[in-house]
Amino acid sequence: MLSLDKFPLGCKGVVDSLDLSDEAFRRVAAFGLIPGSHFSLMRSAPFGGPLVLEVGSTRFLLRRSLASLIQVRVAE
């Protein structure tokens, strides 16, 4: 298990847990990131910029500070 900001670029993964406030959880869940959901890490901006994830057919960016609170594992 590792946090999302350390996840290898270009790989697919599964969300394990989210250590977020209710409000932040709602925002993240609205993009489909909930425990058990599959995602792939598409891009990562240089200079500590945001990550781009794909969940289902939805692509979105999220900041690394937020990603560090999301525990994930590589999908088999």
Partner 1 sequence: MKRFALLGLPNTGKSTVFNRLTGMSQRVGNWPGLTVELTSARLLLGGKMVELVDLPGVNDLTGYSDDEAVVRDVLMSTAFDAAILLLNAAQLDRQLPLALQVLASGLPAVVVLNMADEARLLGISLDLPLLRQRLGVPVVLVSAKRMEGWPALLEALNRQAASAAVASHAQLERVPETQQAIMQARALLAGCWRLPAVLPAGITEKVDAWLMHSCWGLPLFFACMALLFNLTYQIGTPLQGWVGDGLDWFKEAALQHWLAPLPAIVQSLLLEGVWQGVSTVLTFAPILFVFFILMALVEDSGYLARAAYLTDAFMARLGLDGRGFVMQLMGFGCNVPAILGTRVMRERQQRLLTMLIVPFSLCSARLQVVVFFAGILFTPHQAPWVLLLLYLLSFVVAIFTAWLFKHRYRGNEAFLLELPPYRLPGMRHMLIRAVGEVRAFLELASSFILMGVVLVWLVSHIPAGDNKTLADMLGTVLAPVLDPIGIRHELAVALLVGFVAKEILLGGLAVIYGVPEAGLGAALLHHLDWASAMSFLIFTLVYVPCLSTVAAIRRESRSRSFTALSVGWSVLLAWLLCFAFYQGLHLLR
Site for partner 1 contains 76 (CB under 8 A): no
When the beta carbons of 48 and 74 are compared against partner 1, the nearer one is: 48
Residues 19-58 binding partner 1 (CB under 8 A) are 20, 23-32, 34, 43, 45-50, 52, 55-58
Paired tokens of 75:
């999908």
For residue 1, the minimal CB distance to partner 1 (Å) is 21
DSSP string, 10-72: T-EEEEEEE---HHHHHHHHTTT--TT-EEEEEEE-TTT--EEEEETTEEEEE-HHHHTTEEE
Per the structure block, which two tokens stand in for 67? Answer: 């990603």
Is 41 or 62 the residue whose CB approaches partner 1 more closely?
A: 62
Query: What are the residues binding partner 1 (CB under 8 A)?
Result: 20, 23-32, 34, 43, 45-50, 52, 55-63, 65-66
